[in-house]
Amino acid sequence: MNEDVCEAIETQHVLAFEYGHEETDEGPGGCRVVEPHVYGETADGEELLRGYQTGGYSASREPVGWKLFDVAEIEDLVVTTESFDGPRPEYEPEDPAVEDVYCRL
């Protein structure tokens, strides 16, 4: 478990991180700016982060919106000094993708 992710959720601080650096048809990954909402793992033990991306790179070419991140692919994670006001609209605390929740808003 990444304690920095839980700290960011508990204190409502924005995360910045590099994500998706494998070369794909869309090109390499890049920096993401994310308001973290739920962090935990799947039934298979894969750690996931559900967050609202507010800026940065997106392979889908949609840099703003709800995203699900594989924590194993996150690099250079920084808890920024920027805070956010709380859950975004359409936030689902009982995220079906995350079976064992470490922390959430």
- pLDDT tops 60 at residue 27: no
Identify the residue whose tokens are 């991140």.
69
Which whole number is the average pLDDT over 27-53? Answer: 92
Print the domain residue range for 48.
Answer: 3-104
Indicate the number of domains in the chain.
1
Distance of CA 84 to the CA centre of its chain: 14
Distance of CA 66 to the CA centre of its chain: 9
Q: What is the pTM of this model?
A: 0.89
Pick from 24-28, 51-55, 57-61, 66-70: least confident:
24-28
